[in-house]
Amino acid sequence: MKLLHVDASPRGETSSSRALSHFFVDQLRFRMPALEVDYLDLAAEAPPAITETFTSATYTPEEERSAAMRAALAPSDALCRRLLGADALLFAMPMHNWTMPASFKAFIDMIVRGGLTYVATEDGRYIGQLGGRRTLFLTTRGVDLRPGTPFAAMDALTPALRAAFGFIGVADPNFVDAQPLQFARAAERADAFARARRELIAVAEDWAGAPALSRAG
């Protein structure tokens, strides 16, 4: 299985989403030793912002695109190829101002591409091209936004991820949301990390098809 692993936190060594995403990959590799990983760090390789040339290029048939248009689309073409070339997808990010970090939004703007990651049919339907890929969204949050908490209604991250990736064919993704990791007592933060790690192990077991031998006894 080839996994595309994307990290989006601007923080490095101290990032909790990076620590948890690497924990997940270790858990998966333990169960699937042949796992191949394509790693993309959006803090190190920020996707470019959408430009006017990019916009007009996406509405211009491929054979009519100018050299400038093809150049503007090149980073997006490359990211779409990486996405389509993976069997499984892991997207890890912190919540920033109730939604995704800007780098991840820029990534989405690069990978939602007509003719590549979705196809429009003559009868007006849109067919996402990423069907059949295991997908995990791993998010870290400073406060607790679980149902029933005062901040629950502020979660603009989960629906945004579901919408953008649902459009390109990602069905039934897994979500592991580690929360509260910042604005809470130390014991609550420790519980949140432990809960997230348990959920990540369960996803790794599910993706691998069976518990690891050592865990199964």
Ligand X SMILES: Cc1cc2nc3c(=O)[nH]c(=O)nc-3n(C[C@H](O)[C@H](O)[C@H](O)COP(=O)(O)O)c2cc1C
Contact (CB, 8 A) for 106 and 47: yes
The Cβ of residue 211 has, within 10 Å, a number of other Cβ atoms equal to 15
Nearer to ligand X, 21 or 58 (CB): 21
Q: How far is 200 from 176, CA to CA, in rounded Å?
A: 7
Q: How far is 95 from 92, CA to CA, in rounded Å?
A: 10
Give least dist CB 10 to ligand X, A. Answer: 7
Nearer to ligand X, 18 or 133 (CB): 18
Give least dist CB 104 to ligand X, A. Answer: 11
User: Which residue, 10, 20, 46, is CA-closest to 140?
Assistant: 20
Give least dist CB 170 to ligand X, A. Answer: 22
Nearer to ligand X, 16 or 76 (CB): 16
Nearer to ligand X, 15 or 76 (CB): 15
Give least dist CB 125 to ligand X, A. Answer: 35
Q: Which residues bind ligand X (CB under 6 A)?
A: 9, 11, 15-18, 94-98, 140-143, 181-182
Contact (CB, 8 A) for 146 and 181: no
Nearer to ligand X, 135 or 179 (CB): 179
Determine the distance from the C-alpha atom of residue 84 to the mean position of all C-alpha atoms in its chain, rounded to a whole number: 13
Give least dist CB 22 to ligand X, A. Answer: 11
Give least dist CB 142 to ligand X, A. Answer: 3
Nearer to ligand X, 17 or 135 (CB): 17
